Amino acid sequence: MSESKTIQSPHDAHQATEPLQTFELGQNRKLTILGTAHVSQASADKVQELIATQAFDAVAVELCPSRYKAIVNPDLLAKMDLFQVIRKGQAYMVAASLALGAFQQRMAENLGIEPGAEMRTAVRDAQAAKLPVLLIDREIGTTLKRIYHNFPWWQRFGLFSGLLASIMSHDKVSAEEIERLKEGDVLESTFSQLAENQRDLYGPLISERDAYMSARLLKEITENNYQHTLAIVGAGHMQGIRQILQTDASRSPDDTIRQLDIIPDAARWIKYVPWFIVALILTGFGIGFQRSPDIGMAMIIDWVIINGGLSATGAAIALAHPLTIVTAFLAAPLTSLNPMVGAGMVAAAAEIFLRKPQVSDFSRLRQDTIRLKGWWKNRVTRTLLIFLLASFGSAIGTYVAGFRIFEHLSGS
C-alpha cells in the first residue's frame, strides 16, 4: 500500500472541538477520521452531519463486536448465564466491564446526554443509509486481559479492585474527569487514576488499540475496495492512528491483528503456587498430628474458623442470603485445599439457587450499576460481589490461617 498523506479538510462550525482529517491511502482511496468525545452531543451531531453528506461508502466505528451487540441489542445482558460466567472465570471481566460502563454513564449524565451517543448515531445512520458498518476496535475482554498481564502479579488484584472501588465510591464525576474523557479515551481516563506506572496502561489501552484499529481499517479498505471511508474514533486515538497510517501503512494488517489478539500466557510457576501452598498446609497438619492430637486439632479449628470466617464475612459484606453466608463458611476451608474450586464460586452458586436473578435484574443492570447501592440491590451484581468478596476473604484466610498453623508448630 502506498504511503498515506494528509489532505486538509474544510473548516466548519464543529472543527474546533471535533477534529477531522482526511488521508489518501493510494489508488484513489481516502479515509476521513473524525475524532470524537464519547460524552459530547457535538460529536453525535457531527457524525450525523457527515453521514448525511453521502460522501462515504463505509463507516468504521471504535467498537468491538461485543460492544456493538450491546448497542444494537440492549437486552443482550438479559441472556447472560450468570453461573457459567462465574464458572468460566469471567466474573472479574464482567464486573470490570459493568463498572466501566457505569463510569461513562455518570459522566454522560453530568452532561445530559446518552453515553456513546456518537457511536449509536453512527451505527443507526449508516444502517439507514445502507452503508457497511466496520467494527475496528479490539474486543474489550482482550484489552482488559492484556492490561491484567501487563501488570506485575502483585499489583493485579489492586488494579481491578481499585477500579471497582473508585467507580462505585462516588456518584458525582469531577470536571477534570469529564475534560479528560473529552480529550482522550474512556478506558484510559478510568484506569489512569489507578495505575502506579502509566506505561503499563498506555500499551494495552492506547498504543496497541491505535495499531489494532489502523490494521483493521487498512484490511477492510483493501479487501473491500472502499473508495472513501469514514472512521469515527475517540479524539485520544487520532494522533496515533494518523501516525501509523502515514509511516507504517506497508505492514501486514493480518499480522498486526493476530499479534495484538494474543492473550499472554501466565508464567508457569504461578500455576503451581496454589498447589505449593496446599502442600505446605497439609504438611503442617501432618506434623501437628504427629506431635500431638491436641496440636493437630487446634490447627484444624484455626483453619476452619479463620478461613471460613473471613470468606463468610466477605459474603456478608455483599449482603448474601444467610444460607449463602453459612455455605461460604463451610466451603472455604475445603475449597482452599483444592485450587480447582473456589469458595466464591460455591457461595455464588448457593446465592443463585436461593435468590435467582430475575429478567428485571438483568434489564436494570446499566441503571443499577451507576449508583453504589445499586450493586447490592441488583441480584446479578450482588452475586458478582458475593463471588469476589467471598473469594477474597478465603484467599486472605488461607494465608492468615497458614501462618497460624506454623505458629503452632514453632511453639510446640
Condensed to tens digits (0 to 9), the pLDDT of residues 298-356 reads 999 999 999 999 999 999 999 999 999 999 999 999 999 988 888 999 999 999 999 98
Kindly state whether residues 148 and 277 are assigned to the same domain.
Answer: no
Residue 28: the pLDDT is 81
Residue 57: count of CB within 10 angstroms of its CB: 15
Kindly state whether residues 34 and 173 are assigned to the same domain.
Answer: yes
Domain boundary among 213, 239, 260: 260
Residues of the chain short of pLDDT 70, as ranges, are 1-18, 38-40, 74-79, 100, 103-115, 152-202, 249-250, 266-267, 412
Residue 15: the pLDDT is 40
DSSP string, 303-362: HIIIIIHHHHHHHHHTT--HHHHHHHHHHHHHHTT-TTS-HHHHHHHHHHHHSPPPHHHH
329 lies in some domain: yes
Kindly state whether residues 201 and 346 are assigned to the same domain.
Answer: no
Residue 127: the pLDDT is 93
> Where in the sequence is the domain holding 32, given as residue range(s)?
5-81+112-260
Residue 62: the pLDDT is 92
How is residue 55 written as a grid cell? 460522501
Residue 197: the pLDDT is 47
Kindly state whether residues 255 and 274 are assigned to the same domain.
Answer: no
248 lies in some domain: yes
Alpha-carbon distances of 279 from 162, 275, 371, rounded to whole Å: 31, 6, 43
Residue 130: the pLDDT is 95
Kindly state whether residues 73 and 54 are assigned to the same domain.
Answer: yes
Kindly state whether residues 160 and 53 are assigned to the same domain.
Answer: yes
Kindly state whether residues 308 and 250 are assigned to the same domain.
Answer: no
Residue 146: the pLDDT is 84
341 lies in some domain: yes
Kindly state whether residues 291 and 227 are assigned to the same domain.
Answer: no
| Pure H helices in 6-81 | 41-52, 65-72
Residue 33: the pLDDT is 93
**pTM score, whole prediction:** 0.71
168 lies in some domain: yes
Kindly state whether residues 229 and 141 are assigned to the same domain.
Answer: yes
100 lies in some domain: no
CA–CA gap between residue 405 and residue 296 (Å, rounded): 9
Contacts of 246 (CB under 8 A, 6+ apart): 3, 4, 5, 6, 23
87 lies in some domain: no
CA–CA gap between residue 223 and residue 226 (Å, rounded): 8
94 lies in some domain: no
Residue 8: the pLDDT is 38
Domain boundary among 260, 285, 315: 260
Indicate the number of domains in the chain. 2
Kindly state whether residues 214 and 300 are assigned to the same domain.
Answer: no
Kindly state whether residues 173 and 306 are assigned to the same domain.
Answer: no
Angle at 388 between CA 384 and CA 390, to 5 degrees: 115
Domain boundary among 204, 233, 260: 260
Give the alpha-carbon dihedral of 159, 164, 165, 167, to 10 degrees: 120
Kindly state whether residues 292 and 378 are assigned to the same domain.
Answer: yes
